[in-house]
Amino acid sequence: MELSHQELFDFLEAKYEQYNRPEFIETDPISVPHHFTRKEDIEIAAFLTATISWGNRPSIVKDADKLLRMMEFSPYEFILHSGRNETGRFESFYHRTFNGRDCIFFLESLKNIYQNHEGLESLFLPDDVTGIKGALCRFRSTFLEIDHPHRSEKHIADPCRGASAKRLLMFLRWMVRNDKREVDFGLWKKIPPSILMCPLDIHSGNVARKLGLLIRKQNDWKSVEELTANLRQFDAEDPVKYDFALFGLGVFEKF
C-alpha cells in the first residue's frame, strides 16, 4: 500500500481517532485495570494482565479477572500482606504456559518491589543514555533478583537479548500515556510519552509492513526501534498513540 507522507499521516490519525476511545476498552485487556482507582492497584492489575496478554483477548480478560478475584480485588493489599498460606491458592492458576509456580513467583517479586524498591514506577524510569531499553533491562534484573523458578524467566522479556518486549511496552503505554481519552491511564508522570517504544506483535507488524513503516522481517527489538522511529515522523511527542491504529487495523479490520 503506497501512500504519500501526508496521506499516511491522515490515515494513521483517522485510525487512531477511531480506536482510541472508551468503547475500545470493553473487549481489551486494558479493561481489567480499569476496575480499580488506587494507583498501586491499577499498576499491579495492569502489569499482571499485560504479563498474560497473549492468545485470544476474551481468554486473556477472563483469566486476568480470575487472577484479580483470587486476590480479593485488592491486589496491592494482598501482595503486601500475603504469605505462603495465601499465595498457595495460586498453584492451580494457569494461562497458557504461565502456570501456578510462575504466578506465585510474580506475586512474591512484586512484594519485594513494593517493599524494597519503592514500587513499579521507580524501576521503569529511563536514563538519558540507555532510554526505555535500558529501563526494561534493569527492571528485568530487579524482578528476577529473588529466588525463582528458571522457567519463569521466559515471562519477562529481555530486549538486551533482542526481544521485542511487546507486553512490557504495552504496559508502559497504559501507565504513561495521558491524552484525556480515558483509555490509557497516564499515572506515571516521570516518563515522557515521547520516549516510549511501540508494542510490536504479529498483527501490528504485518500492518506496519504493508504501510511501509517497517522493513525488517523479524518482530524483534530492532524492528521496535525501526517502527517507532518511523512513527515519530508523524508525532514526535506521542509516537506510540499509533499503536491503536496498527492494532485496530490488524485485529478488527484484518488489514
pLDDT tens digits along 155-177: 999 999 999 999 999 999 999 99
For residue 190, pLDDT beyond 80: yes
The C-alpha cell 503506497 sits at 2
pLDDT > 70 in the chain, percent: 100
C-alpha R_g of the chain: 18
Note the pLDDT of residue 189: 96
Count Cβ atoms below 10 Å from residue 138 Cβ, excluding itself.
17
**What integer is the mean pLDDT of 105-114?**
97
Query: For residue 207, what pLDDT is reported?
Result: 98
Separation of alpha carbons 103 and 43, rounded Å: 16
pLDDT at 85 over 90: no
pLDDT in tens, 32-46: 999 999 999 999 999
Q: What is the pLDDT of residue 24?
A: 86
Average pLDDT over every residue of 123-148: 95
Contact 235, 241 (CB under 8 A): yes
Per the CB < 8 A criterion, the answer to whether 209 and 237 are in contact is no
Average pLDDT, integer, range 188-204: 96
Q: Which of 70, 71, 69, 48 is nearest to 60 (CA)?
A: 48
For 204, the grid coordinates are 501490528
Number of independent structural domains in the chain: 1
Provide the strand spans (E) within the chain: none
One-letter identity of residue 253: E
Helical axes 39-51 vs 57-70, angle rounded to 10°? 130
> Can you give the residue range of the structural domain that contains 67?
5-251
Give the containing element (helix H, strand E) for 209: helix 202-210
Burial of 63 (0-12, 13-18, 19+ CB in 10 A): buried
